[in-house]
Chains A and B, each alone.
Chain A
Amino acid sequence: GAVVSQHPSRVICKSGTSVKIECRSLDFQATTMFWYRQFPKQSLMLMATSNEGSKATYEQGVEKDKFLINHASLTLSTLTVTSAHPEDSSFYICSASSRTWGHEKLFFGSGTQLSVL
Chain B
Amino acid sequence: KQEVTQIPAALSVPEGENLVLNCSFTDSAIYNLQWFRQDPGKGLTSLLLIQSSQREQTSGRLNASLDKSSGRSTLYIAASQPGDSATYLCAVLNRDDKIIFGKGTRLHILP
Do the two chains bind?
no
Q: Which residues of B contact A (CB under 8 A)?
A: none
Q: Which residues of A contact B (CB under 8 A)?
A: none
